[in-house]
């Protein structure tokens, strides 16, 4: 009897210890749940420095992304110009309004697959994602504030101090912590669930003949620049769209070889992010195709990929344009444009 009683006690102790370990593990995981980086099967390998985020960090970054209190007049948030339902672009707006009614000088880019980018902005002036956040806060045509002012505001907020404590263990809100949670959130903006992706990963062969022909045409005529699964080779190229007011990379560096060069944008979710080009000059994809087919001027420095038989342009007949448009519309990711609503 004594042995049986002792055995029961040992079993009860072991169960108690097991439950204690499970409870501790649950508390630990609920307070610091890790978010594994999203690596789509058909995408290039993630960079080695890809962020390891926590769910609380991502949530806090998203809250800050949507907070107009970061702008000088408290009227503009990141989300004001990067709307999730339009692939984090500003639909129908050529130049987005910043703080105090000032307008940006370039069309708002869509935000997606940011950890695979080698540089940011149309002139590739930034090489770190955190630099894009700092620019948005400090730019006179965006939030028109400053990092010290934003930090002072946040450190006066009991709500934000509590949220930063949950993420970092203490209430202190520093520039490093601010950039970390922004990066946590921005790196969740991965779009990889379009009909094209299902086709590429052979999860579905649900492509019409027109769409398939459009894809074949795209690979023949557009892939030198809009390459791979990201639909950009991350290069800067002169597509003949520079203006006296804006010469892209050349405006920044003042070098002759950079004049007219702009970053090649991704075409993912392109059907949702009109208007197009750095200055929003085109309102439809049909206009974009017409430009590349018949509207390119043979300007100095025009990229060699935009010549066909020695003549500027990529000739497309009406059928080919229709097929390309059909394909481009398969790049829309319905899951991605809803994820901001969770």
Between CA 291 and CA 277 the distance in angstroms is: 11
pLDDT tens track for 27-56: 333 445 888 899 999 999 999 888 789 999
Angle at 35 between CA 33 and CA 38, to 5 degrees: 170
What is the predicted pLDDT for the residue at 176?
98
Pick the closest to residue 189 from 331, 340, 49 (CA basis): 340
**What backbone torsions phi and psi does residue 97 show, to the nearest 5 degrees?**
-80, 130
Give the contacts of 159 (CB within 8 A, at least 6 positions apart). Answer: none
* Measured distance CA(264)–CA(76) in Å, rounded: 27
Q: Indicate the pLDDT class of residue 12, thresholds 50, 70 and 90.
A: very low
- Domain 53-190, what fold? Cytochrome Bc1 Complex; Chain D, domain 2 (1.10.760)
CA distances from 115 to 134, 136, 198, 227, 234 (A): 17, 18, 22, 17, 12
Domain ranges in the chain with CATH number 1.10.760.10: 53-190, 195-340
> What residues pair up with 328 in beta bridges, in sequence order?
none
Q: Does domain 195-340 have CATH number 1.10.3720.10?
A: no
pLDDT at residue 205, as a whole number: 86
pTM metric for this prediction: 0.87
- Taking residues 191-215, what's their average pLDDT? 96
Residue 119 is encoded by which pair of tokens?
């540089």
**Structure token digits, residue 63:** 């809250």
């Amino acid at each position: 009897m004594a042995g049986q009683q002792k055995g029961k006690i040992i079993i009860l102790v072991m169960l108690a210890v097991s439950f204690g370990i499970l409870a501790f593990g649950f508390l630990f995981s609920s307070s610091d749940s890790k978010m594994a980086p999203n690596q789509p099967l058909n995408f290039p390998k993630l960079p080695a420095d890809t962020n390891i985020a926590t769910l609380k960090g991502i949530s806090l970054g998203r809250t800050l992304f949507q907070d107009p209190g970061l702008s000088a007049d408290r009227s503009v948030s990141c989300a004001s110009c990067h709307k999730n339902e339009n692939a984090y672009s500003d639909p129908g707006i050529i130049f987005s309004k910043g703080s105090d009614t000032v307008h940006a000088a370039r069309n708002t880019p869509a935000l997606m697959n940011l950890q695979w980018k080698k540089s940011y902005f149309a002139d590739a002036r930034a090489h770190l994602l955190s630099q894009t956040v700092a620019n948005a806060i400090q730019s006179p045509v965006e939030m028109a504030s400053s990092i010290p002012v934003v930090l002072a505001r946040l450190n006066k907020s009991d709500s934000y101090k509590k949220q930063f404590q949950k993420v970092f263990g203490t209430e202190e809100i520093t520039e490093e912590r601010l950039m970390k949670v922004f990066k946590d959130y921005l790196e969740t903006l991965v779009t990889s669930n379009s009909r094209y992706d299902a086709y590429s990963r052979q999860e579905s062969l649900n492509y019409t003949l027109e769409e398939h022909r459009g894809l074949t045409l795209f690979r023949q005529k557009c892939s030198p620049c809009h390459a791979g699964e990201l639909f950009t080779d991350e290069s800067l190229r002169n597509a003949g769209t520079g203006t006296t007011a804006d010469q892209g990379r050349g405006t920044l560096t003042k070098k002759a070889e950079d004049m007219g060069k702009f970053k090649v944008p991704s075409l993912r979710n392109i059907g949702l992010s009109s208007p197009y080009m750095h200055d929003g000059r085109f309102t439809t994809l049909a206009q974009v195709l017409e430009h590349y087919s018949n509207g390119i001027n043979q300007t100095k420095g025009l990229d060699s990929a935009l010549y066909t038989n020695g003549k500027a342009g990529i000739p497309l007949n009406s059928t080919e344009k229709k097929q390309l448009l059909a394909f481009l519309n398969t790049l829309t990711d319905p899951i991605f444009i809803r994820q901001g609503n969770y």
